[in-house]
Amino acid sequence: MNSPAGSAVVEVRGLVRDFGAVRAVDGLDLHLAPATVLALLGPNGAGKTTTVEICEGFQRPDAGLVRVLGLDPVANGAALRPRVGVMPQGGGAYPGVRAAEMLNLVAACAAQPLDVAWLLDVLGLAGVARVPYKRLSGGQQQRLALACALVGRPELVFLDEPTSGMDPQARRLVWEIIGRLRSDGVSVLFTTHQMAEAEALADQVVIIDHGRVVAQGSPAELTRSGAEGQLRFVAPAGLDLGSLSGVLPPGCHASEPRPGDYLVEGPMNPQLMATVTAWCAQQGVFAEELRIARRSLEDVFLELTGRELRS
């Protein structure tokens, strides 16, 4: 049973997973193209981890089709696992194992692993290579888990909340690694509940809630779509809005929601911005804090679900 979309690295259609009376995943579709990065974004309990664990073959779907590298993750798990790197949520290692021992063990399971000492070094773990896992900080445990996912040179990696518990430097490093993975031809599916991370890293963002896809697209598409576009600036209160509307192209509308805060709504382009600043110059005022307002993924999410993303 081959997927019709032959190019997909991960193909999920109509996925359903129940835990007793609770439907954790409810008719989910996913499509990960080769050498791209897909972010599965959603609040805790949205079904992210369940979806990823089904793709990894750790759980069976109750309904729907799941193909990873064209294979069924449960039935063809033995063929699939050497090709896939997995970073489970919360890592995974013997409590007493030293960081280097754990990575060496996972490396021994691969035919052509990355150099363990090098990998520990670039992930900032060389100094704790002999420290037992349970004495590593949360961020160090996360980095070791990431190293375990990468060491086998996989063609696809699943990263479940790869940056949770990391400090900003480590997070930046993970972002850089994900970018390098994509450039080197590795496909990446990661989960996160941080909008900034999804916006910064993903080619494709799939926002899920209650086990369903509520929106998907590139970060630009998601944050652009639905918004007419807004240009905001700050200037002395009480400027002549009629005069401003006179110079704007058709379809644009100027307002002053709060005294001194100006808002121009309409299709955004560089010419419009020039028109607005030229008008300000005519009025003899500075257009301060001039910016094109763009929705954040959080705005998108709130609009779609009415829920806080970090709940």
Residues that bind another protein (CB under 8 A): 56, 58, 78, 81-84, 86, 88, 90-97, 101-102, 104-106, 108-114, 122, 133-134, 145, 148, 150, 152-155, 172-173, 176-177, 180-181, 183-186
Cβ-based nearer residue to another protein, 58 or 286: 58
CA end-to-end span of the chain: 39
Nearer to another protein by C-beta: 73 or 219?
A: 73
Distance CA 288, CA 307 (A): 33
User: For another protein, which is the closer residue by CB, 87 or 272?
Assistant: 87
Least spacing, CB of residue 288 vs another protein, in Å: 34
Question: Beta strand 156-160 with 84-87: parallel, antiparallel or unpaired?
Answer: parallel
Return the closest-CA partner of residue 247 out of 281, 221, 223, 224.
281
Gap between the Cα atoms of 238 and 242, Å rounded: 11
Q: How far apart are CA 296 and CA 300, in angstroms?
A: 6
Could you give the CA distance from residue 8 to residue 249 in angstroms, rounded to a whole number?
Answer: 44
Is the Cβ of residue 45 or residue 77 nearer to another protein in the bound state? 77
Alpha-carbon gap, residue 65 to 54, rounded angstroms: 11
Contact 124, 173 (CB under 8 A): yes
Nearer to another protein, 100 or 231 (CB): 100
Q: How far is the CB of 82 from another protein (least distance, A)?
A: 4
Instruction: Output the smallest distance, CB 211 to another protein, in A.
Output: 21
- How many CB atoms neighbour CB 97 within 10 A? 16
Compute the least distance from the CB of residue 90 to another protein, in Å.
Answer: 6
Residues 89 and 165: their CA atoms lie apart, in Å, by 11
What angle is formed at CA 130 by the lines to CA 127 and CA 131, rounded to 5 degrees?
85
CB of 309 to another protein, least distance (A): 26
**How far is CA 256 from each of CA 216, 232, 245, 269, rounded to the nearest angstrom?**
33, 10, 12, 21
**Minimum CB–partner distance for residue 248 and another protein (Å):** 44
| Residue number with CB closer to another protein (64 or 90) | 90
Nearest approach in angstroms of CB 300 to another protein is 30
Please, what is the minimum distance in Å from the beta carbon of residue 195 to another protein? 23
The smaller minimum CB distance to another protein, of residues 186 and 264, is found at 186
* Rg of the Cα atoms in the chain: 24
C-beta neighbour count of 163 within 10 angstroms: 24
The nearer residue to another protein, 144 or 309, going by C-beta atoms, is 144
DSSP state of 14: E
